[in-house]
Amino acid sequence: MKRNYFSFLLLACPLMMKAQSIKLITLDPGHFHAALIQKSMYPQVDPTVHVYAEESRDLKLHLEKIDGYNKRTAEPTAWKENVYTGKDFFTKMIAEKKGNVVVLAGNNRLKTNYILESVRNGFHVFADKPMAVDTKGFEQLKLAFNEAKKKGVQLYDIMTERFEITTQLQRAFSLDTEFFGTLEKGTPEDPSVTKISVHHFYKYVSGSVLTRPSWFFDDKQQGAGIVDVTTHLVDLIQWECFPGQVIDYKKNVRILQAKSWTTPVTTADFTLVTKESVPDYLKAISDAKGDIQVNCNGEFTYNINGVHAKVSVVWNYKAPEGTGDTHYSLMRGTKASLTIKQGKEENFKPTLYIEQRQKDAAFEDKLKASIQKISQTFPGIALVKINNGWTISVPEKYNDGHESHFAQVTKKYLDYLQNNNMPAWEVPNMIAKYYTTTKAKELANTKK
């Protein structure tokens, strides 16, 4: 069955007048990240996007988000969604080959297989995390990267958090050995790198309360928490601590400790955020009170290139009023510590703190010299003295929000496609990242 979804603008969008070499295919959209890729338009991307999926509420919500972007008052988009629905949607996509880049963001149960078969058939793939949720999926993902190399196509995951301003600044300051020193090795009990992320099932996206699919609460379909958001945290540890370096997972990564645990979600809360009743597959993981025990939390400590690191992800149902998802990040150097906090004291906005760790009368001068260099890349940042160190004042223009990072990472990927200039470390480090998360899950499961 074929349908066309059109949204017309009063004036023709100039982007449509250009020859676009990149044609997107959205495959089985089930997560709102699939729509966020299209919150912006790109000169090199054809405005007609081919969508392949079964008829479902997930598909309906995806198309509604795209339509909302097309109809918004400020900077409306001009996407045309050409939709095929049917149980054979995947084989139909392969056969028709109406685009060259497959966008994947949805139910993770089949995602790794979609990735593998897409690259085998000559498609580039731009996939939301996680690209693999268990050891079997990791082995399949390695095959996919091998196939991508053979076919001359590019497989890449959507790492939005590299574009968050305090994370970028933490990375930049850590590279200045004059003031930061070198990254400490730490111990399993006291890691020198820590990243903690707190998320919520009930949240706002593009100005509206997000409707989550029922399967999002099932770890067999979404993947356990220890392999989901932790993907971002592991990526940032690799990207910040070892910039430009290839990580060999067989030699450079060792999981030390891992655990996972559940968050209870009441039937009423589940219905509020999904607009659905509890399906049978979730009743199987409900307790005596009927609360769904969602396997969404995870924590592990590991050694990477001799450095001890810890990641932790916690999901609550809803954030207190006026708050939201939060992030904590520590990088401890021999001369200074760099810490991002996002709590009540920071008005729930990420804030970078700098603390001196060694006696050095010239430390502040070195810090000022460092910020002078970094401000050439990030004009307007400033040093603010506080009781036990400093914070970095960041101009509001840099606080562009999580949703805007999807356009930024998409532009980066489009550049890789057009210029064939993906850095040599990206693929081995993606493999190392998914080894880390899936191996941690394997260890956590053995501890139960």
Q: Which domains does the chain have, with CATH numbers?
A: 2-159+407-438 (3.40.50.720), 162-404 (3.30.360.10)
pLDDT at 401: 82
pLDDT at 448: 62
159/423 Cα distance (integer angstroms):
15
The phi, psi pair for 13, rounded to 5°, reads -75, 130
Rounded mean pLDDT of 136-155?
98
Compute CA distances 390 → 44, 179, 341, whole Å: 43, 13, 13
**Which two structure tokens, joined as six digits, stand for 34?**
């699939």
Whether the pLDDT of residue 9 is over 80: the answer is no
Whether the pLDDT of residue 19 is over 70: the answer is no
The distance from CA 6 to its chain's CA centroid, rounded to whole angstroms, is: 30
Whether the pLDDT of residue 284 is over 70: the answer is yes
pLDDT tens digits for range 78-131: 999 999 999 999 999 999 999 999 999 999 999 999 999 999 999 999 999 999
- DSSP lists the bridge partners of residue 260 as 298
Rounded mean pLDDT of 178-202?
96
The phi, psi pair for 128, rounded to 5°, reads -70, 155
Rounded mean pLDDT of 409-417?
97
157/159 Cα distance (integer angstroms):
6
What confidence tier does 256 reach under pLDDT thresholds 50, 70, 90? very high
Rounded mean pLDDT of 57-81?
97
- DSSP string spanning 266-283? -HHHHHHHHSSPPPHHHH
Residue 388 DSSP one-character state? T
**Cβ pair 103, 27 in contact under 8 A:** yes
pLDDT at 320: 75
- Report pTM: 0.92
137/114 Cα distance (integer angstroms):
11
- What residues have CB less than 8 Å from 259, skipping those under 6 apart? 298, 299, 300, 444, 447
What confidence tier does 294 reach under pLDDT thresholds 50, 70, 90? very high
Whether the pLDDT of residue 138 is over 50: the answer is yes
Residue 136's CB is within 10 A of a number of other CB atoms, namely: 11
No. of H helices and E strands in the chain? 14, 18
pLDDT at 3: 53
- DSSP lists the bridge partners of residue 393 as 382
pLDDT at 203: 85
pLDDT tens digits for range 359-396: 999 999 999 999 999 999 999 999 999 999 999 999 99
Rounded mean pLDDT of 52-59?
96
**Which two structure tokens, joined as six digits, stand for 78?**
């001009």
pLDDT tens digits for range 148-172: 999 999 999 999 999 999 999 999 9
pLDDT at 7: 43
**Cβ pair 64, 35 in contact under 8 A:** no
Q: Report which residue type is found at 161.
A: E
pLDDT tens digits for range 193-250: 999 999 999 988 777 788 999 999 999 999 999 999 999 999 999 999 999 999 999 9
412/81 Cα distance (integer angstroms):
23
Rounded mean pLDDT of 327-351?
94
Greatest Cα pair distance in the chain: 73
What confidence tier does 321 reach under pLDDT thresholds 50, 70, 90? confident
Residue 359's CB is within 10 A of a number of other CB atoms, namely: 6
Pairing of strands 292-304, 155-157: unpaired
- Alpha-helical (H) ranges within 175-229 are 177-180
180/174 Cα distance (integer angstroms):
6
pLDDT at 377: 97
Whether the pLDDT of residue 18 is over 50: the answer is no
- What residues have CB less than 8 Å from 128, skipping those under 6 apart? 31, 33, 34, 104, 105, 106, 157, 158
